[in-house]
């Protein structure tokens, strides 16, 4: 789609805004006030739907959801005067109910990645000051063993006779029987969410977001993208991620839309077809896999490639004649596999291959790419349905200011952002906050990019060392480096990302092992100290770390150094120099899993 030629709107920042007038969106003082407004407006309309054991869809209306939230809020207040509630679980109506009930009770929600080891969940609960924790029943024994001091504040998201703990349903029943008055909804600059970045034990940062932060971001997003009140969302990404939480859950709650919970990535195609979703939020890995399967399906048919080329020619001719919706009719079988009603595919969390965006567009499916960070609640910029520029992440939101600092001769520099959506700071970490947030409210994103002459933002790369996988999850090298060097065998190391066509960035490590420890190990084993012995020893060490990490945090390859890393005067590793010295030759890397009679590096499959 070409940039809209209509006169640009003027935003709250005073700059022109591409794509025509902004859409009207109500303003709310708090997230519970927004919930109350939606319950009043949309009543019996379905809000949340999830699969039951027999495969049918169970539905929860806005009315029912609102009552459950109020009942659970009363129950939470019976346990804690100020609930600070950790939530770790799969996407579900229960997850959403706990989050909204926490806010309705005037509390703070702490979303936690359910794939983290229980020890790291425990650390996040500790650092955030959480006094209650809701989680999937499947990890009850691990949670109970790791957190005996929290036994009175542990609850399961679903009822299970095997846990011995109260469930969310039990608390809803208790709260429904209570006539206690609920407090006036917290709002404005009151804290709504503490969202922890990847990593704990000193490496994690708790992003503190207020009601005003989140609501401003939500409002601007709805002003920018023309959603209908009958949109159907398919929720695929994890709700602990602010991208899905705000855009995939709070957005439909505010706008009166329906959310279907996908059972998992293996079921995306089936659930899409069944839900007949009109809008799907995804990350590049999802869209690229889907596009690859579409192409494979075309190629598998008799004369499939020829028919596809003929279809593209016919669709282009129809476009030239101004025939609306021709591509959807030409490629109807593809659309039907996705439910037949998809209006928008939204991509965020990491950069996506432009060819995939163009490919979906050729098939008649509009993909909107956006950009954001947890610290920005989370959206900074998004393409509009009326102004969608290929390659860009869209214009900054209407009330968001973006400037490019220290730009080079091509205009590329660090993206710095200011607006009502910018976080209050990092939880109990004023020094870390001051590093990225100026007294004037400018937030340093750590990403490189540029603004074009029409005000569209383009993100060209990351300034910091963060590794971003294709499923949108961030991996912080410093966290893995810290864990690796706890080993007596690894004296120094550097973790970094290497581009992979299929997996985004793979996690690699350069390791300088301790010679003394290698000598000791070789002596114990009665083996000569040779390169292959060192490789095997380091491989075992990294494999041990990998076993304790979620898949997306696992190191796939490593390289050995024979001397210490080059360092600055403050003893920081010179990362660019270290990479240059390593040469990044695949032949010099060694897979974490032992080779099985194959040449070259061994790669650990982390999908």
Fold annotation for 29-39+61-187: Rossmann fold (3.40.50)
* Residue 68: band (very low, low, confident or very high) from pLDDT cuts 50, 70, 90: very high
Residue 346 has pLDDT above 60, yes or no: yes
* DSSP letters spanning 158-226: S--TTT-S-BHHHHHHHHHT--PPPPPPP-TTSEEEEEEPS--TTS--EEEEEHHHHHHHHHHHHHHS-
Q: Which of 230-239, 295-304, 470-479 has the highest mean pLDDT?
A: 230-239
* Residue 50: band (very low, low, confident or very high) from pLDDT cuts 50, 70, 90: very high
Q: What is the pLDDT of residues 514-526, one digit of tens each?
A: 888 899 898 888 8
Query: Rounded to 5 degrees, what are φ and ψ at 525?
Result: -85, -10
CA dihedral 388, 394, 396, 397 (to 10 degrees): 50
User: In this prediction, what percent of the chain has a pLDDT beyond 90?
Assistant: 55
Among the residue ranges 62-66, 245-249, 306-310, the one predicted with the least confidence is 306-310
Residue range 446-473: mean pLDDT, rounded: 80
CA neighbor of 519 nearest in space, from 530, 533, 529, 534: 529
Q: What is the pLDDT of residues 315-331, one digit of tens each?
A: 888 888 878 788 888 88
Residue 90 has pLDDT above 80, yes or no: yes
Residue 201 has pLDDT above 50, yes or no: no
Cβ-based neighbours of 454, under 8 Å, separated by 6 or more: 3, 18, 389, 395
Rg of the chain over Cα atoms, rounded to whole angstroms, equals 25
Among the residue ranges 55-64, 258-267, 343-352, 524-533, the one predicted with the least confidence is 343-352
Residue range 387-410: mean pLDDT, rounded: 90
Contact by Cβ (8 Å): 429, 206: yes
Q: Which residues pair with 133 in a beta bridge?
A: 86, 154
Does 315 or 351 have the greater pLDDT score?
A: 315
* Residue 200: band (very low, low, confident or very high) from pLDDT cuts 50, 70, 90: very low
Q: Which of 121-135, 189-203, 458-472 has the highest mean pLDDT?
A: 121-135
Indicate the average pLDDT of the chain: 87
Residue range 103-120: mean pLDDT, rounded: 94
Residue range 90-118: mean pLDDT, rounded: 96
Residue range 226-253: mean pLDDT, rounded: 95
pLDDT for 586:
47
Domain covering 476-591: architecture = 2-Layer Sandwich (3.30)
Residue range 336-355: mean pLDDT, rounded: 83
Instruction: Please state whether beta strands 366-372 and 57-61 pair in parallel, antiparallel, or not at all (unpaired).
Output: unpaired
Q: How far apart are CA 259 and CA 588, in angstroms?
A: 48
pLDDT for 580:
85
Residue 601 has pLDDT above 50, yes or no: no
Residue 362 has pLDDT above 60, yes or no: yes
User: In this prediction, what percent of the chain has a pLDDT beyond 70?
Assistant: 90
Residue range 364-375: mean pLDDT, rounded: 92
Query: Rounded to 5 degrees, what are φ and ψ at 416?
Result: -120, 135
Residue range 234-249: mean pLDDT, rounded: 94
Q: Which residues pair with 382 in a beta bridge?
A: 370
Residue 472 has pLDDT above 90, yes or no: no
Tokens of 391: 């390659």
pLDDT for 6:
34
Q: Which residues pair with 282 in a beta bridge?
A: 347
Instruction: Please state whether beta strands 132-135 and 84-88 pair in parallel, antiparallel, or not at all (unpaired).
Output: parallel
| Region of residue 335 (phi > 0: left; psi between -120 and 50: alpha; otherwise: beta) | alpha
Query: What secondary structure letter does DSSP report for 367?
Result: E
Q: What is the pLDDT of residues 23-40, one digit of tens each?
A: 999 999 999 999 999 999
pLDDT for 409:
73
Quickly list H helices, 43-167: 62-79, 93-104, 118-128, 140-146
- Hey, where are the domains in the chain? 29-39+61-187, 476-591
CA neighbor of 476 nearest in space, from 157, 97, 198, 286: 198
Q: What is the pLDDT of residues 562-579, one digit of tens each?
A: 888 887 543 557 787 888
Residue range 490-508: mean pLDDT, rounded: 83
Among the residue ranges 110-119, 140-149, 278-287, the one predicted with the least confidence is 278-287
Q: How far apart are CA 509 and CA 222, in angstroms?
A: 42
pLDDT for 561:
92
Residue range 463-478: mean pLDDT, rounded: 71
Write down the pTM of the prediction.
0.77
Contact by Cβ (8 Å): 136, 114: yes
* Residue 483: band (very low, low, confident or very high) from pLDDT cuts 50, 70, 90: confident
Same fold, 29-39+61-187 and 476-591: no
Q: What is the pLDDT of residues 542-551, one digit of tens each?
A: 999 999 988 8
Contact by Cβ (8 Å): 592, 601: no
pLDDT for 595:
44
Residue 1 has pLDDT above 60, yes or no: no
Contact by Cβ (8 Å): 61, 79: no
Strand extents, DSSP E, 433-541: 443-451, 457-462, 467-468, 474-475, 490-500, 504-513
Query: Rounded to 5 degrees, what are φ and ψ at 432?
Result: -65, -35
Q: How far apart are CA 78 and CA 174, in angstroms?
A: 9
């Amino acid at each position: 789609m070409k940039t809209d030629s209509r006169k640009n709107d003027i935003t709250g920042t005073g700059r022109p805004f591409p794509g025509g007038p902004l859409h009207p969106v109500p303003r709310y003082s708090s997230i519970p006030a927004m919930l109350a407004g939606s319950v009043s407006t949309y009543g019996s309309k379905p809000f949340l739907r999830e699969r039951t054991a027999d495969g049918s869809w169970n539905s929860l209306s806005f009315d029912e959801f609102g009552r459950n939230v109020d009942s659970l809020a009363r129950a939470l207040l019976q346990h804690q005067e100020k609930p600070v509630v950790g939530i770790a679980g799969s996407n579900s109506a229960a997850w959403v109910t706990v989050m909204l009930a926490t806010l309705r009770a005037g509390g703070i929600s702490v979303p936690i990645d359910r794939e983290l080891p229980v020890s790291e969940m425990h650390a996040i609960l500790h650092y955030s000051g959480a006094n209650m924790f809701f989680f999937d029943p499947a990890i009850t024994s691990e949670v109970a063993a790791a957190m005996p001091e929290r036994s009175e504040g542990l609850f399961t998201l679903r009822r299970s006779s095997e846990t011995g703990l109260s469930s969310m349903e039990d608390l809803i029943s208790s709260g429904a029987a209570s006539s206690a008055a609920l407090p006036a909804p917290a709002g404005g600059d009151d804290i709504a969410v503490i969202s922890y970045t990847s990593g704990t034990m000193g490496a994690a940062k708790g992003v503190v977001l207020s009601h005003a932060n989140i609501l401003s971001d939500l409002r601007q997003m709805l002003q920018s993208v023309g959603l209908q009140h009958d949109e159907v969302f398919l929720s695929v990404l994890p709700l602990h991620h602010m991208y899905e939480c705000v855009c995939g859950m709070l957005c439909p709650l505010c706008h009166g839309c329906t959310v279907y919970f996908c059972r998992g990535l293996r079921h995306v195609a089936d659930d899409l077809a069944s839900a007949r979703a009109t809008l799907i939020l995804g990350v590049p890995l999802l869209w690229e896999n889907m596009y690859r399967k579409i192409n494979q399906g075309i190629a598998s048919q008799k004369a499939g490639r020829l028919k596809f080329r003929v279809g593209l020619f016919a669709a282009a001719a129809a476009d030239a004649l101004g025939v609306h919706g021709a591509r959807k009719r030409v490629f109807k079988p593809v659309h039907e596999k996705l439910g037949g009603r998809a209006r928008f595919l939204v991509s965020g969390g990491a950069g996506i291959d432009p060819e995939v965006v163009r490919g979906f567009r050729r098939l008649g499916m509009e993909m909107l790419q956006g950009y954001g960070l947890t610290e920005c609640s989370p959206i900074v910029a998004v393409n509009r349905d009326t102004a969608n520029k290929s390659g860009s992440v869209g214009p900054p939101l209407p009330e968001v200011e973006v400037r490019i600092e220290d730009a080079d001769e091509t205009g590329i520099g660090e993206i710095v952002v200011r607006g009502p959506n910018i976080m209050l700071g990092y939880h109990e970490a004023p020094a870390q906050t001051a590093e990225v947030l100026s007294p004037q409210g400018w937030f340093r994103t750590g990403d490189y990019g540029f603004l074009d002459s029409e005000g569209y933002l383009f993100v060209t790369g990351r300034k910091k060392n963060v590794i971003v996988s294709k499923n949108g999850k961030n991996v912080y090298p410093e966290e893995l480096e810290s864990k690796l060097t706890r080993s007596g065998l690894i004296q120094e190391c550097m973790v970094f990302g290497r581009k992979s066509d299929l997996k985004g960035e793979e996690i690699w490590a350069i390791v300088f092992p301790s010679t003394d420890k290698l000598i000791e190990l070789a002596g114990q084993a009665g083996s000569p100290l040779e390169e292959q012995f060192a490789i095997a020893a380091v491989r075992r060490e990294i494999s041990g770390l990998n076993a304790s990490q979620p898949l997306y945090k696992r190191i796939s390859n490593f390289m050995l150094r024979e001397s210490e890393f080059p360092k600055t005067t403050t003893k920081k590793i010179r990362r660019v120099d270290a990479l240059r010295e390593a040469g990044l030759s695949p032949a010099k890397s060694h897979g974490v899993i032992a080779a099985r009679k194959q040449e070259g590096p061994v790669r650990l499959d982390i999908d």
